[in-house]
Chain A
């Protein structure tokens, strides 16, 4: 049973470009969470999604960031017009139910903005 798959592992973008980060949850998991780890900071919650629904986006920046988890296909975290401050490791996690006591994390996407 494959774990949480994130791609790409590394993404380099120039300022102003768009970044698309993908996350395929574990088989059977319908709950997806995105976290961001800025340099020298802890992991910060961004958004929690269930299939086709955003449940909690209280950690998402108000502008340029969006997330989706369509009925078919991976969850996508999209960052428009990236800036240097967006450089970070973005982690996706999944769980089979909302009440699950643990999250299964992917290996992350390291975004570097030049």
Chain B
């Protein structure tokens, strides 16, 4: 079965600093989804990547999927307290071409200090 490993497990950054979160898969990623989970709340969809080499941005968050489609990175520029939360990568493990059955990593807990 597919395993997703995220690094780091937790991260504390000062407001205004940049940071990167990585998601590495044991198998080819057919679709890679980034979600954010605020403490005690549900998941909020951030971005979905499908093609090797693809890069997407939304506000100050950029996600990339490497050419071999086994690793993705999420980069936050000039972090703000509103970026705090748990970032989860999820994968379409069996090439359904949809988000109907995702395998998730264990998450990266981000804290942003003033």
Of A31, A40, A93, most B-chain CB atoms within 10 Å: A93
Bitwise interface map of A from 93 to 114 toward B, beta carbon under 8 Å scored 1, else 0: 1010011111111111000000
Total residue contacts A-B, CB cutoff 8 A:
66
Bound together, the chains give a CA A48 to CA B99 distance in angstroms of 11
Which residues of B have CB within 8 Å of A95?
99-100
Contact A41:B106 (CB < 8 A) given known A48-B101, A95-B99, A103-B99: yes
Interface size of B by CB at 8 A reads 24
Contact A45:B43 (CB < 8 A) given known A101-B48, A102-B33, A102-B48: no
Pair A42/B101 contact, Cβ less than 8 Å: no
Bitwise interface map of A from 63 to 97 toward B, beta carbon under 8 Å scored 1, else 0: 00000000000000000000000000001010100
**For window 1-45 of chain A, which residues contact chain B by CB distance below 8 Å?**
3-4, 6, 31, 33, 35, 40-45
Contact A99:B42 (CB < 8 A) given known A42-B4, A42-B88, A45-B103: no
Bound together, the chains give a CA A3 to CA B43 distance in angstroms of 12
A contact residues, range: 20 to 34
Contact A91:B42 (CB < 8 A) given known A48-B101, A101-B99, A102-B99: yes
Which residues of B have CB within 8 Å of A99?
97-98
Bound together, the chains give a CA A43 to CA B113 distance in angstroms of 27
Partner-B contacts on A (CB < 8 A) = 3-4, 6, 31, 33, 35, 40-45, 48, 55-56, 58-59, 91, 93, 95, 98-108
Partner-A contacts on B (CB < 8 A) = 4, 31, 33, 35, 40-45, 48, 88, 90, 97-107
